[in-house]
Structure 1
Amino acid sequence: MKKFPSYLMIMILSLSFVPSTIMASESNLKNVTSENKEMPAEVKVMLSRLEEIKAMDKSALSRSEKKELREEVRSIKSDLKTTNKGVFLSVGAIIIIVLLLILIF
């Protein structure tokens, strides 16, 4: 029971620092997004290929050709998803991190 006030104090202190870090990241984010408007050349090529496939008249294609186009679209979309440069944490990873932090304190 004596640990509860200390955990409460740590939680309140950690939450008090959140607004200042959010404000700092928003100002930097505006500068980064304005500079990083250009897409890489390979992404432009992939997007243009997707537009070409969408504009095609698929009624004249055979079954196997349609299947190849679908596979190509899926591969291009998966490649575009992997070009995003970011760190993604799953819900399980976040829970494990929180549990480890609780165990440490």
Structure 2
Amino acid sequence: MAVGAGFGYYSLSSIIITEYKGAELGTIALLSNIMREIIALLAAPFLVRFFGKLAPISVGGATTMDTTLPIITRCSGEKYIVVSIVHGCLLDFSVPFIVTLLCTI
């Protein structure tokens, strides 16, 4: 659950998981979060077509306020910029708390 709670924030969540659970799980978290970002970048047009304009924002996780914002804007539209930034900020701030909580359980 801690790996999934990284929400694409690979630079922080993998370090926290490595400290609490070891290098193996930290590496899995890093790769999982990088793959999440790549999928969000490559699949955004398909996600919009089949699941709606909010789908790439949901898939992108914490990266929706920075690295995936241009593709989300292009595929979903400019009116989703604010939603994407707020979504990314909320997830960015919640990652340290949620991942730490899940690692200590």
TM over 0.5: no
Q: What is the TM-score when the length of structure 1 is the normalising length? A: 0.37
Larger radius of gyration: 1
Structure with the largest fraction of helix: 2
TM-score of the superposed pair, with normalisation by structure 2: 0.37
